[in-house]
Structures are given as structure tokens and as C-alpha cells.
Amino acid sequence: MSNHCRDVWTVSSLQQAILKAKEESGAFILAHSYQSRAITEIADFVGDSFALSKKAAETDCKTVIMCGVRFMAETVKILSPEKKVILANAEAACPMAEQLDVELLSALKEQYKDFTVVAYINTTAELKTICDVCVTSSSAVEIVKKLENDKILFIPDCNLGSWVEKQIPEKTFKFVHGGCPTHSKISALEVKKAKALHPNALFLVHPECKPEVVKEADYVGSTSGIMNFAKNSDAKEFIIGTETSIAEHLSFECRDKRFYPLSKDLICPNMKLTALSDVYYALTGGGEEISLSKETIEAARRCIDKMIELG
């Protein structure tokens, strides 16, 4: 049998090819923190979803490659409509972002007419067009506190919403059944097992996890919040209650500390869809260009601008 794959990439040679293609194209590579180490090492910026879109808006580059999921690429396009935004892997979507559609949310708004609709940033551009304000996991408490209305319809993540509700008991919350499939499947039993295995470790958790998991944490916060806490802490061991890639990244960045994933099941299959080769092909004519109508961009931007105003 003849060998049809004579030219074989290594991780290093493919990374070098990407860096060369990036320089030639003038593109800017964004990578969410849940991406693989091989991808984050060649990215121009790595961070949480909204931080990625803000960074894209600041760069002079006319083309942006998103190594993440679809709603993140849409948010980049909303904040930078003049830029060409390419999603490196067209199949990479966020199940939570697609749990609600405009028809269902419109019906909920009709049912709760006097409620302010607070949308987690993990929502589609279309859904954002009929929401009042966006929030991130790091800004949600601050922004909801600042809202004049004391009645909040929080979508779509009821776990994040529950965490916010506990910190703002003076307000009334309504939730829709929804959330991150990866974070929400983790149980309190897994926390107990992890703490037994690593009794000296601090437990850091994302608020997308269930309330019974969150209440066991030494720190609760966004992905970047978890990473910053671990980097700045005097502790030497940590159980990481979010996507397993964060424990890996921290192990590279804090060589004198130990990081243990809370569970081997804390893997986001959609984030893991994007391969290093996808980044190369996105730079050389592949990927999917994100296209949103002017009306969608303008309507969706209103709730993001409200978040920026309040946060």
C-alpha cells in the first residue's frame, strides 16, 4: 500500500506553520481558555468569552480567528462588525447557548412582563436581540445589583442564576431550566472524593456547577477568576472545578504548584472540537466566516452595551 501522507506534521512544526500563516495574513488569533495547550500557545490572546470579544475590538487586525464556540465568534462580530470573523471549527457550538430560542423567550417575557431579562453572555446573537442586559460569570452579581428592577428573569443557566440569587436575596428571580451540560453533571460526591484524595488542596469552582457543588468551594468564580486566584494564592495544591484544560494550563504557568481536575468528566466536547490543524486551515481559507445582519448586530449590541455601562 502506498503512503499518501508523506508530509507529516508534528505539533511544533504545525505551530510554526500557523505562526508563519498568521504573519502573512495579518490575522489575530483568539483562543478561549478551554482550548488545548497547543492552541493557546500560538494564540494572540487567551481568555474568557467576553474578554476575547473586547480584545478583538481593540486590535487593528481586520481578520479574527476564533478558537472557541459559535456564540463567542458572534459576540466578536457584534462588537467588531467591520472585521472578518472566522470560527476555526464550524461545528463547535455551545449547547447552553442554544437551549432557548426567540419564540420561547418571547413567551416567557409575555408571562413575566414586569421582569428584567438578564442573559448570560453564553447565548446566541439572535437571543440577545430581545434581552435587556448581558452578564458574565464575573460581572453578574455586580450588574444585577445595579439594576433598578427587583424582578429578574435570568437565562439560561439556572445554576449561575442560583449563585447570583443567593448573593442578592432582596431581589426576586425566575429561572428557565438550562445550564452547561459539562459543569452541571458534576456531583457533590465527586467533590467529596476529590477532597479525600487531596486533603491539603483548596477547591476552586465555576458557578455553572450545581449549588451543592458550589457550596463546598474555597473560591467561586469565572475561569479567569479561578486562574488568578490560584496564581496569587500562597497555597500549593488546588482542585479545579471547571474544564480540565484549566488544571493543565495552570500546571504550565505555576510550576511550583499542583492542580487536580475535580473530575475526568469535566471536558467540554465542543471546545475540544477545535484542533490545531483547524487553526491552520482557518488562516488559509478554511473555517466559517460569521455573518450577522445589521439589524441583529444593532439589536444584540444593546444588551451588551448595557452590561458595559453597568459593569
Q: What is the pLDDT along the chain (311 residues), one digit of tens a residue?
A: 455 666 788 999 999 999 999 999 999 999 999 999 999 999 999 999 999 999 999 999 999 999 999 999 999 999 999 999 999 999 999 999 999 999 999 999 999 999 999 999 999 999 999 999 999 999 999 999 999 999 999 999 999 999 999 999 999 999 988 999 999 999 999 999 999 999 999 999 999 999 999 999 999 999 999 999 999 999 999 999 999 999 999 999 999 999 999 999 999 999 999 999 999 999 999 999 999 999 999 999 999 999 999 98
- Distance from C-alpha of 153 to C-alpha of 304, rounded to nearest angstrom: 16
Cβ 275 vs Cβ 89: under 8 Å: yes
pLDDT of residue 1: 46
Alpha helices in 158-258 (DSSP H): 158-167, 181-184, 188-197, 211-214, 223-232, 244-253
The pLDDT of residue 6 is 64
Angle (CA) 275 280 281, round 5°: 95
Q: Provide the whole-model pTM.
A: 0.94
- pLDDT score for 73: 98
d(CA 276, CA 264): 22
Per-residue pLDDT, 3 = 55
Q: What is the pLDDT of residue 4?
A: 64
Residue type, 234: D
- Give the separation between CA 123 and CA 98, rounded to whole angstroms: 7
What's the number of CA atoms in the CB half-sphere (13 Å) around residue 159?
24
Give start and end residues of each alpha helix (H) in 59-209. 70-79, 102-111, 125-128, 140-146, 158-167, 181-184, 188-197
In Å, what is the CA distance from 290 to each residue of 80, 135, 181?
A: 11, 22, 25
Q: Tell which residue, 179, 32, 36, 40, has the closest CA to residue 100.
A: 179
Which one-letter DSSP state was computed for residue 286?
Answer: -
